[in-house]
Structure 1
Amino acid sequence: MKVFISVDIEGCAGITHWDEAEKKHADYPEFREQMTREAVAAIEGAMIAGATEILVKDAHSSGRNLIASMLPADVRLVRAWAGHPLCMVQELDESFDAVMMIGYHSAAGSEASSLAHTLSHDAAEIRINGRRASEFFIHALASSMLGVPTVFVSGDQGLMQEIEEINPHVGRCAVKEGRGQSTVSMTPAAATKAIREGAAQALKGDLRQSLLHVPDHVIVEIVYSNPVLAARHQWYPGMVHVGDRAVRFETGQYFDVLRMLNYVT
């Protein structure tokens, strides 16, 4: 069994403030280590379930956060960014059996997390066919486009509620809950235990039930925090400026969406 694991930081246990996610800040090392521990827990769970090949994508900010020396010897690690439209699932292809997403978080526009955002801080909200889009939704559609189900996700409770609405067959583990600018969180030890067990369980049964329906007609609406960005990005091919701070993109191919988001977020 071949498994792809994408790892972010804002949905990891305990992390609450942007200082804790920024490499230059003194608070960062603690949560970089927890990000790595949660990745290791998912790897261990996948191995318990029979995974024989695992590729891990460091998918936060610089893409250079996971402490490589803490990872098991028999996994491979993708660091930094190639600029590919698959973005947080870069190097995923049809040969994989499953995707897991660790440390993921609520979407831009959500109040469920103090660290809610989608791809960057530029977008106040992104909607795909009317649904508010998280990084989970964008990349689970990308994996489903390739025929690979996203079978397990860990992160904040707001994201878990979104996944329940989108596809309840996707395994999930809420390690914390946002309360305004605060969080109520599992301890690091409890979170890694829950992720390990959840990852192992998620690889049992019919994995294809976790595939998302990839629409053959896609409308993406982006509202920016800064009106200058809407004025600029209206010139992306196929983009239309539809109002203050807002643009709209329409296509019949989901890969076009991924390519567009790579340039305008």
Structure 2
Amino acid sequence: MKVFLSADIEGTAGIAHWNEADRKHPDWIEFRALMTAEVVAACEGARAAGAEEVVIKDAHSSGRNLILDRLPDYARIVRGWSGHPDEMMYGIDAGFSAALYTGYHCKAGSEANPLAHTSNLRISRLLLNGEVASEFTFNALCAASYGVPSVFLSGDVAMCGEARDMVPGLATVETLDGNGSATNSIAPVRAWRLIREGVEAALKGDFAGALPKLADRFEVVLEFNDPTCAYRAGWYPGAKSHGPRAVAFESRDFAEILRALLFLKV
């Protein structure tokens, strides 16, 4: 069994401030270690369930956060950004048995995590087929497009709830809940244990139904904070205005949606 793991940081147990996610700030040192520890816990759970290899995408910001010498010898690590439309899922293909997600956070516009966002801070909301979407929304559908089920996610309470609604049977570990600029978090050491146990149980279970259905047609709408971003994005082939600060793009092919997002959101 080969498992794919997409790792973010804003849903890591204990996190509460953007400084802790910024590699240019001293606080990041502590939280890259906590992010790494959650990834290692997920790897250990996957190994206990029979995984021969875990491919990890370092999916936060620079893509260069994880402390490499703490990773187990059965892991491979994808660092940096290739420019491929799969982005946070780059490296996944049909050869994987399952996808896991650690450190995930709720969508832009949510009040459940002071670090809530979708893709970048220029976007106020990102909608898919009329529903406000998170990064997990697109990443789980990306995995599904390769036939890979999403079976486990750790992150903030709101993200876990949305992920369970989208993928019935998906196992989650709720690391923190946000209130204004504060978070109420479980202790990191407890998160590591729960992630390890949760991943093992998920991969040993029946996750045949954990494959979200791809729609027949997709419309993505990007609502920007700054109208000049929408003006620029509107020049992408096939994009159309969707209001004073928004653009929309439609396709029957989800891969085309991901390709468009790569250029529309910058």
Same structural fold, with TM-score higher than 0.5 when normalized by the shorter chain? yes
Equivalent residue pairs, number: 265
Instruction: Give the letter aligned to residue 65 of structure 1.
Output: N
* Shift of residue 122, structure 1, vs aligned partner: 1.2
Q: List runs of 5+ in structure 1 lacking aligned partners.
A: none
Tell me if structure 1 keeps the 8 A contact 2:2–2:96: yes
Instruction: Give the letter aligned to residue 124 of structure 1.
Output: S
* Shift of residue 82, structure 1, vs aligned partner: 0.4
**Distance in 1 separating the partners of 2:167 and 2:56:** 23
Query: Are positions 1:190 and 2:190 aligned together?
Result: yes
Tell me if structure 1 keeps the 8 A contact 2:151–2:207: yes
Residue-by-residue CA offset, 1:210-240 (whole Å, 9 max, x unaligned): 1101112001111001110001101111110
**How does 1:163-174 map onto structure 2 within 5 Å?**
163-174=163-174
**Matched position secondary structure for 1:229:** helix
Match of 1:55 in 2: 55
**How does 1:61-210 map onto structure 2 within 5 Å?**
61-210=61-210
Q: List runs of 5+ in structure 2 lacking aligned partners.
A: none
**Distance in 1 separating the partners of 2:206 and 2:239:** 39
Residue-by-residue CA offset, 1:148-167 (whole Å, 9 max, x unaligned): 00110000001011112212
Tell me if structure 2 keeps the 8 A contact 1:58–1:66: yes
Residue-by-residue CA offset, 1:166-207 (whole Å, 9 max, x unaligned): 123111111111111100001110110110011111112322
Match of 2:11 in 1: 11
Residue-by-residue CA offset, 1:63-111 (whole Å, 9 max, x unaligned): 0000001111221111101000000010100000000000010001111
Match of 2:245 in 1: 245
TM-score (norm 1): 0.98
**Distance in 2 separating the partners of 1:5 and 1:102:** 8
Query: Are positions 1:220 and 2:252 aligned together?
Result: no
**How does 1:38-53 map onto structure 2 within 5 Å?**
38-53=38-53
**Distance in 2 separating the partners of 1:105 and 1:55:** 21
**Distance in 1 separating the partners of 2:38 and 2:180:** 24
* Shift of residue 208, structure 1, vs aligned partner: 2.2
Instruction: Give the letter aligned to residue 180 of structure 1.
Output: G
Residue-by-residue CA offset, 1:30-89 (whole Å, 9 max, x unaligned): 000000000000000000111011111100000000000111122111110100000001
**Distance in 1 separating the partners of 2:127 and 2:200:** 32
**Matched position secondary structure for 2:242:** strand
**Distance in 2 separating the partners of 1:101 and 1:44:** 14
* Shift of residue 114, structure 1, vs aligned partner: 0.4
**Matched position secondary structure for 1:203:** helix
> How much is the aligned-residue C-alpha RMSD, in angstroms?
0.8
* Shift of residue 130, structure 1, vs aligned partner: 1.3
Tell me if structure 2 keeps the 8 A contact 1:216–1:254: no
**Distance in 2 separating the partners of 1:52 and 1:167:** 25
Instruction: Give the letter aligned to residue 260 of structure 1.
Output: A
Q: Would you identify which runs of 4 or more consecutive aligned residues in structure 1 move more than 3 Å?
A: none
**Distance in 2 separating the partners of 1:157 and 1:205:** 23
Instruction: Give the letter aligned to residue 4 of structure 2.
Output: F
**Distance in 2 separating the partners of 1:252 and 1:171:** 30
